Amino acid sequence: MKLSDKLYDEFENELAKSELQRAMLLVGVFTVGILVMTLNYFILDDSVIRFYGGDSAYFFGMGWVLIFVLYEVLMVWLIKKFTSRGKKISTRFKVVQTTIEITYMGLLILYLVDIKNIYQFIDSPIQFIYFFFIILSILHLDYRLSLLAGALAAFQFGGIIYYAYNLAGIPIRYMPSLPENGFYLRCVMYLFAAAMAAFVAEEVKRRLRSSLEFKFQKSEIEIHLGQQVSREILATLTQEGGKPKRLHATVLALDIRGFTKFAEGRSPDEILDFQNKFFGPVLEIINQHRGVVNQILGDGVMATFGAPSPNPLHADMAFQASLAIIKKVKELSTSGVIPETKVGMGIHSGEVITGNIGNESRKQYSISGKAVIIAFRVEQLNKDFGSQLLITEEVRRSVVLGNISTQSMGPVSLKGLENQVEVHKVS
């Protein structure tokens, strides 16, 4: 799947979440409204209830709101159904939903004014509910729907005012708080509110898209870097900035015996095929034992255990990984996956230094120190001792050998080092 496809799917998923939040918010708010209306019925003075048309009009309004709540519950169910099936919430669906919501409340006001002749409702706080719908239209994340909500609110409320003043006629017994033009000004305010909501919706949508683009680009970079650099090193670079630190760790140096001779007379494709078949399982074993691959050479690998992430069992992990590698290489050779292949490995535990090396234009995360040098020098001794695995005394003291036997090769001199190192051959 392309990055653009992933981004589109995630963006549509976020839009669906926003639609669901909007519908659930409407359910919650209007449910609270019903509870408040019920409580008010027992608290309000009878004169107030009579002013708004008496008990019948009061309970009619409550029933109207209850039906609206049930409608929004249906919307919540539909949106969840769409998203569970991976379907997009279409713009047509949102247009119909917005039109029904705005018109439903407009019909309530018209019914109370025209049928019930309760003109007080054109002055009542109920007309401010249009602002509520306009504000919530932001969650559609589509400026067109915010403008639609404002236009519907202005048109419907303006139509009700025109009908009340010019067609039905305002009863003499009722004195409106505003002249006719004053009510039309409220319609203009609906349009202004819709314009602001449209701006906010588009801005939120733009920032959401930018945030998702950044998220996916970062994810793609991490995936590609993760193929070049281990997850532990990548985490250290992002969290600690690659600052130098000293750790006690175990270094494993591995060499493929006779690789130069093997490569002679073979095509680059054949060599690459062998390397992939060999290194794939080997790297997997190192990862399984919480090791970190620092370098993959043409004929070898350097891995550390306990760096850059501390691990008190680093020596044992490295030892067990080396045994598993020997076993795996033998299986690959026996089964014919790769030609007959032998490896040589050296393992040493000691202090290492981790961190970035280089300048501002080019840096490389590196693990260095005397322990690294000793591990590679010990690995080279396999040729002299006819072995596949050599460990130092520091490693032997730290691991659980079990039924694995070792043979001391005595203190040996290593190139470039003054002090001798005691080495053990693992049988």
Closest C-alpha to 30, from 121, 141, 136: 136
pLDDT at 233: 57
Q: Determine contact, residues 359/390, Cβ cutoff 8 Å.
A: no
pLDDT band at 89 (very low <50, low <70, confident <90, very high): confident
State whether 207 and 274 are in the same domain.
no
pLDDT at 2: 46
pLDDT at 178: 65
Regarding predicted confidence, which is higher, 260 or 324? 324
pLDDT at 236: 59
Q: What is the pLDDT of residues 159-207, one digit of tens each?
A: 888 887 787 666 555 666 667 777 888 899 999 999 999 999 999 888 8
For 421, the 3-state DSSP assignment is strand
Place of tokens 């690294």: 372
Average pLDDT over residues 94-111: 88
Last residue of a domain, one of 171, 192, 222: 222
CATH code of 336's domain = 3.30.70.1230
Last residue of a domain, one of 188, 222, 256: 222
pLDDT at 3: 44
State whether 210 and 258 are in the same domain.
no
State whether 40 and 181 are in the same domain.
yes
Looking at the domain assignment, is residue 418 inside a domain? yes
For 142, the 3-state DSSP assignment is coil
Looking at the domain assignment, is residue 325 inside a domain? yes
Alpha-carbon distance values, 195 to 100, 140, 168, 372 (Å): 20, 14, 32, 66
Query: For residue 114, how many C-alpha atoms fall within 13 Å in the half-sphere facing its CB?
Result: 14
Distance of alpha carbon 138 from its chain centroid, rounded? 23
pLDDT at 62: 84
Regarding predicted confidence, which is higher, 360 or 368? 368
CA–CA separation, 122 and 112 (whole Å): 9
Alpha-carbon distance values, 388 to 143, 191, 341, 350, 385 (Å): 69, 81, 11, 21, 9
Average pLDDT over residues 129-139: 90
Ordered DSSP codes for 68-120: HHHHHHHHHHHHHHHHHTT----HHHHHHHHHHHHHHHHHHHHIIIIIS--GG
State whether 215 and 289 are in the same domain.
no
Place of tokens 């159904």: 81
pLDDT at 85: 85
State whether 204 and 144 are in the same domain.
yes
pLDDT band at 28 (very low <50, low <70, confident <90, very high): very high
Residue 109 has pLDDT above 60, yes or no: yes
pLDDT at 47: 65
User: Of 62-71, 291-300, 346-355, 381-390, which range is least confident?
Assistant: 291-300
CA–CA separation, 383 and 412 (whole Å): 14
Q: Spell 305-316 as b/e; 16+ CB within 10 A means b.
A: bbbbbebebbbb
Regarding predicted confidence, which is higher, 306 or 298? 306
Tell me the two tokens of residue 199.
């701006």
State whether 251 and 316 are in the same domain.
yes
Q: What is the mean pLDDT of the chain?
A: 83
User: Of 119-133, 152-166, 183-197, 305-319, which range is least confident?
Assistant: 119-133
Tell me the two tokens of residue 251.
């270094």
State whether 157 and 270 are in the same domain.
no
Average pLDDT over residues 68-79: 92
Looking at the domain assignment, is residue 235 inside a domain? no
% pLDDT > 90, the chain: 41
pLDDT at 200: 94
Please list the helix, strand and coil fractions of the chain in percent, rounded to the nearest 5, in that order.
Answer: 65, 15, 20
Closest C-alpha to 385, from 423, 340, 342, 347: 423
Residue 353 has pLDDT above 70, yes or no: yes
CB proximity list for 335: less than 8 A, separation 6 or greater = none
Looking at the domain assignment, is residue 362 inside a domain? yes
Looking at the domain assignment, is residue 234 inside a domain? no
pLDDT band at 12 (very low <50, low <70, confident <90, very high): confident
Neighbour count for residue 80 (Cβ, 10 Å): 14
CA–CA separation, 247 and 306 (whole Å): 8
Average pLDDT over residues 105-116: 76
User: Of 6-20, 91-105, 184-198, 346-360, which range is least confident?
Assistant: 6-20
Say if residue 176 is preceded by a cis peptide, omega within 30 of 0.
no
pLDDT band at 44 (very low <50, low <70, confident <90, very high): low
Residue 364 has pLDDT above 70, yes or no: no
Q: Determine contact, residues 7/212, Cβ cutoff 8 Å.
A: yes
Residue 356 has pLDDT above 70, yes or no: yes
Q: What is the pLDDT of residues 317-345, one digit of tens each?
A: 999 999 999 999 999 999 999 999 999 99
H helix or E strand, kind and range, residue 407: strand 406-412
CA–CA separation, 162 and 325 (whole Å): 87
Looking at the domain assignment, is residue 39 inside a domain? yes
State whether 143 and 271 are in the same domain.
no
Average pLDDT over residues 236-248: 70
Average pLDDT over residues 128-153: 91
State whether 183 and 42 are in the same domain.
yes
Tell me the two tokens of residue 15.
């839009």
Domain hosting 346: range is: 242-426
State whether 202 and 264 are in the same domain.
no
Looking at the domain assignment, is residue 230 inside a domain? no
**Exposed, middle or buried, 256 (CB in 10 Å: 0-12/13-18/19+)?**
buried
Q: Determine contact, residues 202/162, Cβ cutoff 8 Å.
A: no
How many domains would you assign to the chain?
2
Last residue of a domain, one of 166, 192, 222: 222
Residue 285 has pLDDT above 60, yes or no: yes
Looking at the domain assignment, is residue 237 inside a domain? no
State whether 266 and 348 are in the same domain.
yes
Residue 234 has pLDDT above 80, yes or no: no
State whether 210 and 250 are in the same domain.
no
Neighbour count for residue 44 (Cβ, 10 Å): 14
Residue 401 has pLDDT above 90, yes or no: no
